[in-house]
Amino acid sequence: MKIYTTLFALIITATINAQNPGTKTIFTENFGFLDTNESISANSSIYSHTGTGDFIHKIVNTQGASGSKCFGQLDSSGASSASLDIQLYGGNTYEYKAFVKTIQSRVFVTLRINVGGLDVAISDCTSVNGVWEELTCTYTPSQDEIATLMFVKTAGYRANIDKIKVICTSCSDKNLVFDFNDSKEGWINGGGCNLFIGNDGFIMKATGPVVAVARSGTNDSTANLDLSTSYYNTARITFKTPYPSHQAGNGKLFFHSLAGGNAPFATFNFPRDPSNTSTYQTVEIDLSSTPTAGTYSGDIARLGFRAPWGINQNGRTGDTCYWQKLELFNKILLADFSS
């Protein structure tokens, strides 16, 4: 059994630029962090369950949203709900969305935002049995408050949930999060590898001696995130490298413009811990520092990874790198006023 613990850290971020399209990712969940049929409520630090049955983790090939295989399930007949708490700030507008699917017979399933025991936003109900449907509800609090995000089943049998996302559509700071648990998030092979969906991170498997690269976007030449380097001064990457390191052992983070195509306009090295070949490691990249190559300035259309060196050492094929998360954000370091 794997125990999954999520720690919420308070990160002070700010930006003085407006963003197009202007959204901040608050929370994502693609599941993939437990074995099948394990209780999410019992083994996670953030989810709660009420009513009949349990809120369990399922792993069934191709049965998750978008053909993935991991999802959450309210697993018994009768009314029940699964929920998590999240901090909201007055004046901002928040969107809570997820894909849900009813099983066995049609039931009434909704997403809800609850504050102080009262539902302040409710999505439409599911309309078709046995089909993944995306539900959404939106809320603008008038003051800072803790809200409970709920997945509610009022009758019937099982109901599934997947690809949960909470975004702020009006926040001034613009976090971008790629959550690769049970998802590739539209990333494609950029050379020297094949990509596969994995439970706790997408899989980059080397195909030959050419360096393994992945890029964002379902179309390698025209995909456009429509972002700007002015929004972000920090990148955070979580990855696992179960293979020997070689030479410097660095990985690379690439930034692409629409006009530049597959040639990145800026490249940043990031290190790996060569002694860790068994667990995920997280590194932060200071985007305000001098890049390894190019200049970090301008529009961001796509992003790219190169696996830390060693995945293709001596021309080996089959070496595998796992990518779990990529985050871009603007971090302000507070001055120390203690002295």
CATH code where residue 94 lies: 2.60.120.260
Amino acid at 51: G
Residues 184 and 105 in one domain: no
Domain stops at, among 144, 173, 202: 173
Per residue in 35-51, pLDDT (tens digit) is: 999 999 999 999 999 99
Q: Is residue 18 part of a domain?
A: no
pLDDT at 182 over 80: yes
In the chain, the percentage of residues whose pLDDT exceeds 70 is 90
Strands 94-102 and 188-191 come out as unpaired
pLDDT at 8 over 50: no
Quote the number of domains for the chain.
Answer: 2
All residues at 6 or more sequence positions from 306 whose CB lies less than 8 Å from its CB, including other chains: 211, 212, 213, 251, 252, 254
Residues 127 and 213 in one domain: no
Residues 77 and 192 in one domain: no
Pick the closest to residue 134 from 105, 95, 94 (CA basis): 95
Per residue in 73-87, pLDDT (tens digit) is: 999 989 999 999 999
Q: Is residue 321 part of a domain?
A: yes
pLDDT at 253 over 80: yes
User: Which strand (E) or helix (H) includes residue 41?
Assistant: helix 40-43
pLDDT at 336 over 60: no
Q: How confident is the model at residue 314 (pLDDT cuts 50, 70, 90)?
A: low
Residues 310 and 192 in one domain: yes
Residues 197 and 228 in one domain: yes
Domain stops at, among 138, 173, 208: 173
Domain stops at, among 124, 158, 173: 173
More confident residue, 108 or 235: 235
Amino acid at 212: A
136 close to 97: Cβ distance less than 8 angstroms: yes
Residues 114 and 221 in one domain: no
Amino acid at 130: G
Residues 45 and 121 in one domain: yes
4 close to 43: Cβ distance less than 8 angstroms: yes
Residues 150 and 272 in one domain: no
Q: Is residue 94 part of a domain?
A: yes
- Show the domain range for 264: 177-329
Residues 50 and 75 in one domain: yes
Pick the closest to residue 308 from 280, 336, 328, 332 (CA basis): 280
User: What span, in angstroms and rounded, lies between the C-alpha atoms of 321 and 245?
Assistant: 12
Strands 94-102 and 133-139 come out as antiparallel
Q: How confident is the model at residue 22 (pLDDT cuts 50, 70, 90)?
A: low
Residue 12 pLDDT? 26
User: What span, in angstroms and rounded, lies between the C-alpha atoms of 272 and 241?
Assistant: 8
Q: Which residue has the tokens 């809320």?
A: 139
Q: How confident is the model at residue 315 (pLDDT cuts 50, 70, 90)?
A: low
> Using alpha carbons only, what angle is made at residue 71 by residues 66 and 147, rounded to the nearest 5 degrees?
105
Amino acid at 139: Y
Least confident segment among 25-34, 197-206, 229-238, 310-319? 310-319
115 close to 147: Cβ distance less than 8 angstroms: yes
User: What span, in angstroms and rounded, lies between the C-alpha atoms of 74 and 319?
Assistant: 38
121 close to 138: Cβ distance less than 8 angstroms: yes
323 close to 3: Cβ distance less than 8 angstroms: no
Residues 191 and 290 in one domain: yes
Residue 312 pLDDT? 72
Q: Is residue 267 part of a domain?
A: yes
Residues 55 and 166 in one domain: yes
Q: Measured on CA atoms in the order 220, 221, 226, 228, is the torsion positive or negative? A: positive
Q: Is residue 8 part of a domain?
A: no
Q: Is residue 185 part of a domain?
A: yes
Q: Is residue 5 part of a domain?
A: no
Stated pTM of the model: 0.83
Mean pLDDT within 206-214: 85
- For the chain, the average pLDDT equals 88
pLDDT at 272 over 50: yes
Residues 73 and 148 in one domain: yes
What does the block give as tokens for 308? 């830390």
289 close to 237: Cβ distance less than 8 angstroms: no
Q: Is 313 helix (H, G, I), strand (E, B) or coil?
A: helix
Q: Is residue 155 part of a domain?
A: yes
